[in-house]
Amino acid sequence: MDNARHVRLNKIRGRYPHVFEAHKYCKENPDKFIGRIHGPVVLSINVKDARYASMVEQVLGGSASSHLRYFIVENEQDYRTFSRILVDEKKLKVNVAWPSVGNEVLRTPTSAAELKSRYGMDYYASDILEGDPHVMRYLAQEARISKIPLALSHSSEENISNSGIFQKFCVGQTYYNVKTAEYGKRNKQTSTTPIRTAEYLGEAVDNEAKNQLMEEYRTMEGNLQQADVMIKEYNLEHDQIKQKVQAYKHQKEDLISQKRDVQLAAQAYNMKLGKLEDLKKQLELLKQKPAVLQERIHKLKEDVVTQKSAEERFVKKYAQTLQKYVDCYEMRNIYKLQEIHANEKFKAIRNYATEQDKVLHDAENNLAAAKRSYQSAQRQALVYKKECEEAGNNLAEELHTLFQEILRKWKEEGTEETLETLEEKIAEEKGRAEGIRFANPDAMLHYEERKVEIDRLQQKIDSLDGDIEECKRQIATVKALWEPRIDALVQRISVKFSEAFERIRCSGEVAVDKHEDFDKWGINIWVKFRDTEKLQLLTGQRQSGGERSVSTVLYLMALQNLAKSPFRVVDEINQGMDPRNERMIHEQIVKGASAPGTSQYFLITPKLLPNLFYNERMRVLCIYNSEWLPAKIKPLSSYLEHAHANGIS
């Protein structure tokens, strides 16, 4: 399940079937090419340390980057063959590159030791990757893997940004991009992007096989739980059978005892039967004797019959007696169990009665103590009530008013203070007053002077409060004239802004940021790019660079219907956007800028994605700002001819 190459290939087959078909063709037809075809790149590279997998994938442009889907050839002939067969004939949308640079492109700006000691970074991206030299040279040329350092933990990011050596670097889960202004003081601006978890270069698992095994595991686990239930049922049945076996064992013992008694009776019967046979023999002998013995013989026969009948009665009586004995033994066991149950119940009731007697005795003691405490507290409360009613009668007018206010609060809110704490506070205040009189004999005079000054200042404050209220009324009057107009204008902008965000399946609003200080008024832009999020304020730290660019463009488009100008210019607005946002924003700009009655619109960018939205009111200008062109770039006319041949206008 952990075959990373197999998992990567399955992802390529699902997302980019043309790349998969090209890879399959190259594997099945190696005789078509002179050298080896490396690719796609995602199958030809490996990350030495899995902890850096997400960083390396971000450096290569992310999981949707075309760098990972490029095919690398080793010579020009294979480049032409690959393009002719797979691109022109089979019409596969794949990219092929032939790196015509040497190993110098893999040279790093600093040594590994200096990178760690001076800047606190771990490795360059090229140090973590391993692959064929042709693939590594291509990635160094196009993705600059030998110029981008990586670090797992935070270091001095500001020092790295200001060094002037590194334009891009990764620290932890953040990707930094340092740009230097082309004009003026050439200030540096650093933008950050959160690093997403690697989809291709991390440790991969064959999810289909894993899910199948997990499904089998869950099925077996369900069977195991069902077997546990059956085992519990069988155990219960086993216990019941065991109880029956035990009962049958007791019955067997009783039957064995009965059998033993019957055997003893049978043995006695056999002995008597043997004795009867002896008597019969004797009878035969006696028959041969004279007739005088006939009477005795007859008598002996009668004795034999009598003994036989008696023996039969004894056997029946013994069986009846044995059955009565068994029934009595069972009744004796039942009565014994009832006796044990009654004794235990009697003990429990007796213990419960003892405990309840003790609880009742304690409750009576507590009730008596509570009554005594209540009566004592009642008497003390009457004394305190009388003292409180008499308190404050001889106080000065000011203190008497203060005293009445304290009483009112106590009646309304209550107090947790006791008589002892009040007496301590009174003594403390008296001591403080005596200390003031002793330390400053003129304290009362100063008090009167300050009281007069306080009255004067209070009158001044009242006058100023009146002036402030008048100013507030004037401000409210003026504010009522222009604030509704601003709110209405911003509401119009917000409606246009929300409609633009809905077209890209996101949400956005614009609102006035109001403060008591009018210098701090401003515009707040609220955006939401994911269904699981809430509307968040657009800031320079919360959203990514691409999200800020999208919000800025849509805000400017919401403003363009409110402000008239001969033309508008937007420079590199698509830089930092992911391909999805770049396509949606480009389509919005094209539709808005090409509508009838709008101003002329200039969009300047160093790169554009293929197959963007265009219409007939647009004009595309490609500027070659160089004295020469690379040998691999064909003349512009050949690209135009190829476009016309494929029906691209």
CA-CA distance, 373 to 362, in Å (whole number)?
A: 16
**pLDDT tens track for 252-286:** 888 888 888 888 888 888 888 888 888 888 877 76
Closest CA to 169 of 199, 108, 125: 125
Which pLDDT belongs to residue 392? 61
Six-digit token string for 346: 């009697």
Peptide bond into 40 cis (omega under 30): yes
Six-digit token string for 453: 């000054």
pLDDT band of residue 439 (cuts 50, 70, 90) is low
**pLDDT tens track for 524-555:** 999 888 888 888 888 877 777 778 888 888 88
Closest CA to 486 of 514, 509, 507: 514
DSSP calls for 498-537: HHHHHHTT-EEEEEEE--SSGGG-EEEEEEE-STTSPPEE
Which pLDDT belongs to residue 322? 78
Cα-Cα end-to-end distance for the chain: 47
Contact 38, 61 (CB under 8 A): no
Q: Phi/psi of residue 645, each to 5°?
A: -65, -30
CA-CA distance, 107 to 570, in Å (whole number)?
A: 36
Which pLDDT belongs to residue 308? 82
Apex 458 CA angle, 457 and 459, nearest 5: 90
Contact 98, 79 (CB under 8 A): yes
Residue 205 has pLDDT above 50, yes or no: no
Apex 220 CA angle, 218 and 225, nearest 5: 95
Contact 196, 62 (CB under 8 A): yes
**pLDDT tens track for 482-523:** 888 888 888 988 888 888 888 878 889 999 888 888 888 898
Distances (CA, A) of 527 to 480, 505, 595: 29, 12, 26
What is the pTM (predicted TM-score) of this model? 0.36
SS3 29: coil
174-180 and 188-194: which strand pairing? antiparallel
Q: Where are the domains of the chain?
A: 4-194, 206-288, 294-415
Which pLDDT belongs to residue 398? 63
Work out the number of other CB atoms within 10 angstroms of the CB of residue 149: 29
CA-CA distance, 634 to 216, in Å (whole number)?
A: 57
Least confident of 27-41, 125-139, 365-379: 365-379
Six-digit token string for 227: 């077997």
Torsional class of 506: left (φ above 0), alpha (ψ -120 to 50), beta (otherwise): beta
- The secondary structure element, H or E, covering residue 11 is helix 4-15
pLDDT band of residue 339 (cuts 50, 70, 90) is confident
Which pLDDT belongs to residue 291? 62
Which pLDDT belongs to residue 540? 77
Least confident of 17-21, 92-96, 206-210, 568-572: 206-210
Residue 239 has pLDDT above 70, yes or no: yes
Per the prediction, the chain carries an average pLDDT of 82
CB pairs under 8 A, 24+ apart, for 628-631?
Answer: 631/100
Which pLDDT belongs to residue 82? 92
CA-CA distance, 523 to 512, in Å (whole number)?
A: 5
Q: Which of 106-120, 302-316, 592-606, 625-639 has the highest mean pLDDT?
A: 106-120
Six-digit token string for 532: 């699981």
Six-digit token string for 116: 């760690």
Q: Which of 133-147, 310-324, 547-561 has the highest mean pLDDT?
A: 133-147
Residue 573 has pLDDT above 90, yes or no: no
Contact 42, 139 (CB under 8 A): no
Six-digit token string for 181: 């202004």
Residue type, 62: G
Which pLDDT belongs to residue 1? 44
- Mean pLDDT score, 127-148: 91
SS3 609: coil
Strands, E assignment, 349-473: none
Q: Which residues contact 50 (CB under 8 A, 6 or more apart)?
A: 202, 203
**Top-confidence residue, 405 or 205:** 405
Query: What's the alpha-carbon Rg for the chain, to the nearest Å?
Result: 54
Apex 311 CA angle, 269 and 279, nearest 5: 65
SS3 130: strand
Q: Which of 60-69, 304-313, 314-323, 564-573 has the highest mean pLDDT?
A: 60-69
Closest CA to 375 of 365, 387, 367, 386: 367
Q: Which residues contact 85 (CB under 8 A, 6 or more apart)?
A: 25, 32
Closest CA to 59 of 206, 160, 166: 166
Residue 290 has pLDDT above 70, yes or no: no
Residue 155 has pLDDT above 50, yes or no: yes
- Mean pLDDT score, 124-141: 91
